[in-house]
Amino acid sequence: MANSVTHVIVVIVLLDLFRHYVFGKKKFPRYLLVIGGIAGLGPDIDVPLTWIYQFLTSSTTDLHGLFTHSIFFVLFFLGIALLLHVKKRNMWAKIFYVISAGWFMHLVLDCLYGGYKTFFWPFHYASSFCPQWGIQTHAADIDAIILVLWLIHEELHQRIIDYI
């Protein structure tokens, strides 16, 4: 499984690339990057929920990956975004598009890092299509590489000033 930092920074970097090369800064404000980064952690809300559940029930049950790591949450947020888009609530539609993208990237990263989650909850089909490359042992190195490459990209294109 990818580090929490990876879930945030990969979403921010990808959304920032879309912001710069596809949508433009005026149509894609920076606050959407923040929302996307936070949404990249969204599926892991089950970790603190597990702590609360274990504290209240004295159980050892781990809820992590049981339901919040489902593709249906991505589709739910995407559906809200589409509905808001149709109703011309563009700011809120963008927010829910970004939440959907961040949530989806979390699932992709967990899969790439060899995670075994219930991507199709509420159906009891456990996905086994995720590769087992063993890269989770290099998670901190991957975080550093992604961050350095993004900073170099921003400096080369004289965009680092956007974040100062």
Residue 28's pLDDT band (boundaries 50, 70, 90)? Answer: very high
Residues 6+ apart with CB under 8 A from 120: 70, 71, 72, 127
Number of Cβ atoms within 10 Å of the Cβ of 126:
12
Residue linked to tokens 């949404």: 39
Query: From the centroid of its chain, how far is CA 152?
Result: 22
Give residue 31's pLDDT: 93
Task: Give me the mean pLDDT over the 78-95 stretch.
Answer: 97
In a domain, 97, yes or no: no
In a domain, 88, yes or no: no
Total count of domains within the chain = 1
In a domain, 89, yes or no: no
In this structure, of 26-40, 100-114, 122-136, 150-164, the range with the lowest mean pLDDT score is: 122-136
Question: Six-digit token pair at 24?
Answer: 């433009």
Smallest Cα–Cα separation from 72: which of 115, 108, 104?
104
In a domain, 42, yes or no: yes
Separation CA 117–CA 73 (nearest Å): 14
In a domain, 96, yes or no: no
pLDDT at 164 over 60: no
